[in-house]
Structure 1
Amino acid sequence: MPRYHLNVHDELNPAPAWTSAGLETLAAAEREAARTAAAIGLHKLPNDGVCQAVVEVSDEHHQRVAVMTVSMRIDRPISPPRTFSPWAA
């Protein structure tokens, strides 16, 4: 039975930063890749404002069979200046 693995690379480290345990089906590996990508965004994005990573699914022969690219950015536009009101509490 084939086994699939996830390899995670971020924008700073081209070598895999994390590798999963074997998953039994490609569909299971792709679902886990999606969960991993979401977790990367939730973990990294609030701190840095920018997140770029790649989650690769490989088979038991270390051949890539799917690649998920994670790319998110928070833009924080400057809010308009508040006007002073003498009646504001």
Structure 2
Amino acid sequence: MRYVIEVGTVIPAQPPTNEDKMTLYIYATDNMTLVARINGETERACEKVASERFGDSDTYGWTYAPAFGAADGVQPGEDVEDIDA
């Protein structure tokens, strides 16, 4: 899809939708099991919550691309916590 915008055109700001949000996946480093999903408007917002809630890098890791089902990818968890940033 292409958009052509003329110089000087004002485009009204649109409120973000769930499709605009990003998801940061938090996993346990010992077994690569998903423990939480953090949804936010920006990487900065997601990573701030991740740092506050899951700051121990020896215990938890995080990624925006979990590669579920791939070799060495994050494995689905049972009690995954959904968190809004």
Q: TM-score when scaled to structure 2?
A: 0.41
Q: TM-score when scaled to structure 1?
A: 0.40
Higher relative contact order (CA 8 A, sep 6+): 2
Which structure shows the bigger proportion of residues in helix conformation? 1
The structure having more radius of gyration, on CA atoms, is: 1
